[in-house]
Each structure stands twice: as C-alpha cells, then as structure tokens.
Amino acid sequence: MSMLLRAAPLRVARNTVARQQVRHAHFENVVDKTIPVNVTNKVTFLLKLSTYVVCGFGLPFAAAKWQMKRAAGA
C-alpha cells in the first residue's frame, strides 16, 4: 500500500514541472523571418553587422592598449 501512496505525490510533482516549462514564444518560420533583424536591404545589414562585429571584437584590444599605456605612464 505504501507504494501506491508514494506514487501519487510523484505524479503531482511531475505535472507541475511540465506545466512550468511552457514557452510563450511565437515566430513565423518563413523565409527572411527566422532571425530578429531585417535583411531585405543587404547594404544596410552589412554596414550594421560590420559595425557590430568590429566594435565587439576590437573593444577588448582597445581597452588592453589603453590599460598598458596607462600603466607605462604611472
């Protein structure tokens, strides 16, 4: 009898976890709509992406150079 009593709380716990994992995201999986940016104008997209990548990749190097220059002057 104890096996039956123990199984009921496990089922309830499993159902609550399943209910909490519901994702509320909606997007249409069609051509040119699978990423969250507008890529219809290729030149604008290229400029924005290039700026983002150059700044994101170059910022740590610029910060390191600035820190080294500051340390050399002190």
Q: What is the pLDDT along the chain (74 residues), one digit of tens a residue?
A: 566 566 666 666 666 555 666 667 666 777 767 777 778 889 999 999 999 999 999 999 999 999 999 998 76
CA distance 39 to 49: 11
Contact 38, 45 (CB under 8 A): yes
Full-model pTM: 0.46
Which pLDDT value is given to residue 30?
Answer: 75
